[in-house]
A and B are shown apart, each in its own frame.
Chain A
Amino acid sequence: MNAPENRQLQKSLELALEARAEAPHTPTAAPLGGELQDARHIGQAIPRPNLERLTEGRGQYVDDIELPRMAHVVFWRSPVAHARIIRIERDFARMMPGVLAVYDGADLATICKPWVATLTHLAGIKSAPQYPMAIERACWQGEPVVAVVAKTRAEAEDALQYIQVEWEALPAALDMNTALDPETPVIHPELGDNLCFTRSLDTGGVDEAFARADVVAEATFDFGRHTGVTLEPRCQIADYNPASGQLTVYHSQQAPHMMQDLYSRQFDLPESSVRVICKDVGGSFGIKVHAYPDDFATVAMSILLKRPVKFVADRLESFVSDIHAREHRIQGRIAANKDGDILAFEIKDVTGIGPFSMFPRTSGIEGNQVVNLTGGPYKHKAYRAKLDVVFLNKTPTCQYRGVGHPIACAVTEGLVDLAAAKLGMDPLAMRKRNVIPDDAYPATGASGIKLEVLSHEACLRRIETLMDYPALLSEQAALRAKGVYRGIGFATLIELTNPGAAFYGVGGARISAQDGATLRLDPGGGVAVMVSVGEQGQGAEAIFAQIAADAVGVPMSAVRLLTGDTEAVPYGGGTWASRGAGIGGEAVLQAGLALRANILKVAEAILKRAVQTLKLDAGVVVDAVTGEALLPLHELGRVAYYRPDTLPAGFTSELMVTRHYAQRDYPFIFTNGVQASYVEVDTETGFVKLLKHWAVEDCGRVINPMLVDEQIRGAIVQGIGGALFEECLYDDAGLMKNGSMADYLVPMAGEMPDIVVAHVETPTRSSMLGAKGAGEAGTAGAPGAVVNAINDALRPLKAECWSQPVTPEKILRALGHI
């Protein structure tokens, strides 16, 4: 045996294992009480049960489904930003082999009503009626104009080339900074101007705070328009059965009940006649929580053709038809006194959306969030913000992972760093001094947001030791002396999760703020769990299984999950705004506890022993005191279902229960955290090397630390994408220049750093479970941390760059090299 090599091997194996467990999870939350004191699954890093399927290629994504007589639709999309459609010649396409129909916008409008996406709580928001396909006028490059339906996808694509559209180009509004100027064409003349939504917020005292400040720092922050690039494109199969009047839609979607409601209303179908089924979803990130025009078009064509129609976006059309997000320019400034106390923030935000507000969540929410969240971690009282959301002839924008948070955080944290630099103060010390202290909750932020309970101070302490900040600072200083420019950047953040009805319901959107879980004990002792929050890969089904197992008192292997079918699961909102664990999880917990109580009542009837003397443990009814096994669940199930004649008169076994949960204590349950980035900037080439990234996150009770860590890592990398690589680039005519995977850059394995994740656990008191959301905080904080690190590296060279993505070109310009 080669001993040294063996030691090396052992070492590398240890390293591989350590890499994930670098920051081992030690729960800091108080253990759950009552029936849950024996919880064996909640809090454990248990692998997801549904992964076996996906690693063997046995998932079922929408494009994997084939139905009898299924047709395929492809769209002719507007090739220009703004055009009047003069004539559509479809006869040649109709003659092509396999073609079943060719439709234009007017055809589909006969059975599908138009929509206008506004919310009443976004005062004054306006938009124009939008149809499944453009009628008379196309308003962005990528808007569907003509649809070809054929027996196969290839035949539909063949025929598409024979569609001839005559159009007249119209002047377009393409620059958000000039969209409101009088010389810019107004996209919808009936609206009067290109202003979709505007909001002003002023706490008062802002001018006074800036007047008495010892330092004022300001900067203009630019954020490139980017998109989600789900690896599975948007896709659906609409299957209308004219005999039953039933519409079934297989959809890669995050909110099946929302879609059920929208299909029902836009097509005037009874709600009960619409069923939406979401099987495996190949990535969503908010891209798949909206109702797209081509969704309605596909349904319309299935109704018209009386057969299933499949739509799968190809990658090129994804880039111009999936929602975009995050195109903002923010002028921000901060006031501080010489002790380092932040006195005030002020921002002026302009953001460019598409030609329509996106249905049904609107394109006003992102900017609204920026106003709500800027300055969020800090205790200053003076804040002023102005927001303009303007229409552009570009792809519509809407909510994408993080929704406003990455922008608000990068602006806030950039300004804090600028102020700290002016004061000559350490940026971490500046944050420690200004965060709302951990003992001050509940608190209200300057923007008026209600904060239940946060742990900024604990998180800042944790990250300082996690990254060994003093050592890093000396390394940085030593290397700078050698001409190596490394930077350290921090981003403190808050993230809204577990929303109540405040998000959409109060504004009139029919999107459920409540979710439900149904749990059923089967005769064999298994527990079927049906939840209205679905699986998009984040591990929702796994944590629901963990919670159900502990709540009922069965092994996790006895639990089976069903999600994503409006016909089978309780009504609910679905997966968005980091609400799955906190809201769906609480519903599962409550249903599980209720099922446990009902099971014990059945045991009481069978065993003729008082229920107080019984306990359910790992699938067996046991003596509460001695732990003696009395009745396994498969025996209890046998008696309950097959031999109810042996039970006392008047007794009924209720072995299926449903419970719902809606978070009603606060508009949102905020989480908090802090991230740090360590980068090296090559001042010759402008390239940035990400050396390491740290995140300390408080998402309340951690149900599965491995899954939370991986949510945070994945979200951080998506945030890094926006900070360094991703941008939808448009030319002067409003055409996207980099709309392919080869040209639109996203993070790859080679350039990503290892990410160390640690937790502080401050459970929310708004639920028994105490879980808050964890899916978006990574994306919220990463861009701010990385951009601050880059600027920290550039600071000794008197250069700065606040324009995301921070490309090598921008860095070289900042350095004056080009």
Chain B
Amino acid sequence: MMSPEKSIDDLSTEARPVHITVNGTPGQHSVQPRTHLIDFLREDLGLKGSHLGCEHGVCGACTVRLDGQIVRGCLVLAVQTDGRRVDTIEGLSDSGAIRDLQQAFIRHNALQCGFCTSGMLMAASELLEQKPRASREEVREWMSGNYCRCTGYQAIVNAICEVLATRQAARIEGATA
């Protein structure tokens, strides 16, 4: 966060320093105030796993995590993430945090072209955390913020429902062990 004494001209369009932790790695970066988070991730950091589908906050292909919460990378400015933590599909893949979800997507063929998939996985992973007992209808409702033009959604819903069930079974087993 910027301290008051360090404040610079808010109207300046010049690049300014920001400190962002991306996928667990803290880093000092210089970004223009107008740069969207998704463009910063893709163009400045080369993290191409999040995709640009509409650039107006509708399709969900650019969904990433900001301080643990999913956001649209095209609706957040990179400067707004100063002092915060951003996680992308690359980070979540490397950490293994959503391995079960990714494997379920593969088993169910819950992706075809794969362009929406990073965003779908982000949205689904938050669902798994926030609504661990979600019903099939609730899964459909939750995932309705992300476009997929290939699958017709059923395989995506099936994959998420399967992970909900297996994670819940594992929790109960853990609790009773």
Chain A residues in the interface with B (C-beta under 8 A): 1-2, 5-6, 9-10, 12-13, 15-17, 19-20, 47-48, 51-61, 63-64, 154, 228-233, 280-285, 314-315, 536-539, 706-707, 710, 713-718, 740-742, 746-752, 754-755
Contacts and interface: CB of A to CB of B under 8 A. Distances in A.
Contacts of B136: 15
Given A19-B154, A20-B155, A56-B102, A741 B113 contact: no
A401 B155 CA distance: 20
23 contacts: A1-B172, A1-B176, A9-B168, A9-B172, A12-B164, A16-B161, A16-B162, A19-B157, A51-B109, A52-B102, A55-B106, A58-B90, A59-B115, A63-B48, A231-B149, A315-B53, A714-B150, A715-B152, A742-B58, A748-B144, A748-B153, A749-B144, A750-B144
B166 interface: yes
A16 B53 contact: no
B88 A57 contact: yes
B165 A12 contact: yes
A283 B54 contact: no
A282 B158 contact: no
Contact of A752 (B39, B93, B102, B152): B152
Interface stretch (B3-11, B14-22, B76-84, B116-124): B116-124
A585 to B, nearest CB: 18
B45 to A, nearest CB: 12
A6 B172 contact: yes
Given A746-B147, A746-B149, A707 B109 contact: yes
Given A57-B50, A748-B147, A5 B172 contact: yes
Given A17-B162, A706-B109, A59 B172 contact: no
Interface string B17-61: 000000000000000001000010010000111111111111101
B151 interface: yes
A562 to B, nearest CB: 18
Given A16-B161, A752-B152, 8 more contacts: A9-B168, A13-B162, A20-B158, A51-B114, A58-B93, A59-B115, A710-B112, A740-B54
B107 interface: yes
A19 B156 CA distance: 11
A538 B150 CA distance: 8
Contacts of B109: 47-48, 51, 539, 706-707, 710
B140 interface: yes
Interface in B132-150: 136, 139-141, 143-144, 146-150
B151 A713 contact: yes
Interface residues of B, number: 64
A231 B166 contact: no
Contacts of B85: none
Nearest to A48: B109
Given A61-B51, A231-B113, A314-B55, A714 B152 contact: yes
Contacts of A57: 47-50, 88-90, 93, 118
A747 B151 CA distance: 11
The 8 lowest CB-CB distance pairs between A and B, nearest first, are A57-B49, A54-B114, A537-B113, A282-B115, A717-B152, A537-B112, A57-B89, A750-B144
A13 B166 contact: yes
A54 B110 CA distance: 11
A19 B114 contact: no
Contacts of A59: 49, 114-115
B112 A538 contact: yes
B61 A51 contact: no
A514 B105 CA distance: 34
Contact of A742 (B34, B56, B153, B168): B56
A457 to B, nearest CB: 27
